[in-house]
Amino acid sequence: MIPRRILLVDDEANIRLLLSSILEAAGYVVDLAEDGFVALHKLQHARPDLLISDLRMPNMNGFELLSVVRTRFPRIPIIAISGEFLSAVHEGPLADAFFQKGSYTPPQLLEKVADLLEDTYARKAVKSASSPIWAPTGDAPVMLTCGSCLRSFPIDPCNDLEKSKQADCIFCGAHLDVQLVAVGVVQSSGS
């Protein structure tokens, strides 16, 4: 059996080393990238079976990277990992799963990787109508992901969503109806 390939993208060398060791010990071939630009360069030369990416990185952040990957390679399953953002929406337009740094165990990650790789060929290249809001855990901005163009942009949930519960994508202009799902997490649908 040919080992499955995973592209791991994180600007922190220690995280790359730790996660690649865990994944390689489980039998996966792991390619590493320190930011979105390096990851896109690697994607041009060899397509991975799965992508794991941090969201907050220099040069090209994870939101931008995952938007490009979803648009150009919609069948690649994606796991987003972040220590600065929270999301209870596990299946959205940018990621098939989300783990908050420090809040998951290696067996949980390996189980999700195996599940996503098992479903790879059944994946549909369809854009989701729902979009997560990525709530910050620190001083990071709150980010809304457009379900139409798959780009993320910062919003002020108090001002932008307080009265109308609606927002327009700053990139493509799609109208997003936003609905509160849980504290710090909202879900939206494009129209």
Q: Which domains does the chain show, CATH number per domain?
A: 5-122 (3.40.50.2300), 130-190 (no CATH)
Nearest CA to 86 out of 98, 102, 74, 68 is that of: 98
Tokens 């109208």: give the residue. 175
Tens digit of pLDDT at every position of the chain (191 positions): 789 999 999 999 999 999 999 999 999 999 999 999 999 999 989 999 999 999 889 988 888 899 889 888 888 999 999 887 665 444 567 888 989 888 899 999 999 999 999 876 555 544 444 555 666 666 667 777 776 676 777 777 666 555 556 777 777 777 776 654 433 434 444 54
Helix axis angle, 13-25 relative to 106-118, nearest 10°? Answer: 60
What confidence score (pLDDT) does residue 86 get?
66
pTM, two decimal places = 0.71
Q: Residue 26 is which amino acid?
A: A
What confidence score (pLDDT) does residue 132 get?
57
Would the CA dihedral through 18, 117, 77, 46 be positive or negative? positive
Residue ranges in the chain assigned as alpha helix (H): 13-25, 36-45, 62-72, 106-118, 157-161
Encode burial over 126-147: b for 16+ CB neighbours within 10 A, e otherwise: ebbebbbbbbbeeebebbbbbb
What confidence score (pLDDT) does residue 121 get?
56
